[in-house]
Structure 1
Amino acid sequence: MSEDRQMLLFELGDDRYCVELKRVTNVVECGSLQSVDSDPEFLAGRMDVRSETLRVIDLKHLFGVTAAVRHTGEIDDAEHVVVFNSRSGGDVDAWLVDEVRNSVSVDDDTVLSASGPMAHVEGTVQTDHGETVWVDADAINGI
């Protein structure tokens, strides 16, 4: 018997992605990113939210949707920050993405494994919006 997973849908450019909703603690729609000189290139910067400092990964850059990385400035109306549970060291990871959509229930029978060496991808799932890339939160937040 298959189970359903709750997934949060979001966009990067024209492509649709999802992550398991149980991993997400919050979606932030406004705020400021601060750059830190020692941050790796894929980090958009750091952001303070509710007495926590978020390490914000620019997912569009990581997935090759854009070559440029945003390192500072206000979150635009068309951008969102998806916040995850804190890790064992107290670090809180977040992703800078384009539009966040709704959550959907996905039947495990519709999950297709990633074919080939696709870093940061669990596979694809079938949603009402068509085929959607399921992003591996652990792989991304662990970099």
Structure 2
Amino acid sequence: MDEELKVIVFTLADEKYGIEIKRVKGIERVMPVTRVPNTYDFIKGVINLRGVVIPVIDLRGRFGLPVEAYTHNARTIIVEVNDIEVGVIVDSANDVVDIDINHIEDPPEIIGGIKAKYLRGIAKMDENRFVVLLNLEKVLNNCELIQFNH
């Protein structure tokens, strides 16, 4: 039996991306964010989620994609990376899928304007559908987020 990877599939600028479900702590509607001065533009600020202060980043901004107003479909996916909980804002969170690890290929250098360093691989779902798997350690760089871990 082939090994499968369970991922949350979300949309960002009309592309499908995935995050391993074991990294996901929850999916929330986008909520008001308290801005934190002197941070990177893609770090939107912090939210208070059930008594826990969580930094929030906009993945569009992180990837250098055009930042747009959030629609009613936008979601904040709460993930854990290196013992830090972080919220990532996405256009929509669609699905949970099982991906055969044998169908995951190395990412090209650039896909949709996003550098390969942020990507773990490309999963081929069928002939015309792909899911881009994120490398959360690179997307959520500790040096950029460390200020929130105090």
TM-score (norm 2): 0.81
Stretches of structure 1 that go unaligned for 5 or more consecutive residues are none
1:79: which partner in 2?
74
Following the alignment from structure 1 to structure 2, what is the Cα–Cα distance between the partners of residues 108 and 87? 23
Q: Confirm whether residue 22 of structure 1 aligns to residue 22 of structure 2.
A: yes
Deviation at 1:44, TM superposition (A): 1.7
1:98: which partner in 2?
91
Consecutive aligned runs of 4 or more in structure 1 exceeding 3 Å deviation: none
Following the alignment from structure 1 to structure 2, what is the Cα–Cα distance between the partners of residues 98 and 18? 13
Q: 116, 120, 123: which one pairs with 1:122? A: 120
Following the alignment from structure 2 to structure 1, what is the Cα–Cα distance between the partners of residues 52 and 68? 23
Task: Count how many residue pairs are aligned between Structure 1 and Structure 2.
Answer: 136
1:64: which partner in 2?
64
1:141: which partner in 2?
140
Task: Judge which range, 76-85 or 9-18, deviates more.
Answer: 76-85
Following the alignment from structure 1 to structure 2, what is the Cα–Cα distance between the partners of residues 140 and 63? 8
Post-superposition CA distance 1:9-38 (Å, at most 9, x none): 000121111111110010011421111112
2:36: which partner in 1?
36
User: Does the CA-based 8 Å contact 1:45-1:57 persist in structure 2?
Assistant: yes
TM-score (norm 1): 0.84
Post-superposition CA distance 1:52-105 (Å, at most 9, x none): 111111101122321x487xxxx64121000013644xx421101011011000
User: Does the CA-based 8 Å contact 2:71-2:91 persist in structure 1?
Assistant: no
Q: Which has the higher helix share?
A: 2
User: Does the CA-based 8 Å contact 1:56-1:93 persist in structure 2?
Assistant: yes
Identity %: 20
Deviation at 1:131, TM superposition (A): 1.0
RMSD: 2.1
Following the alignment from structure 1 to structure 2, what is the Cα–Cα distance between the partners of residues 10 and 69? 16
Stretches of structure 2 that go unaligned for 5 or more consecutive residues are 110-114, 145-150
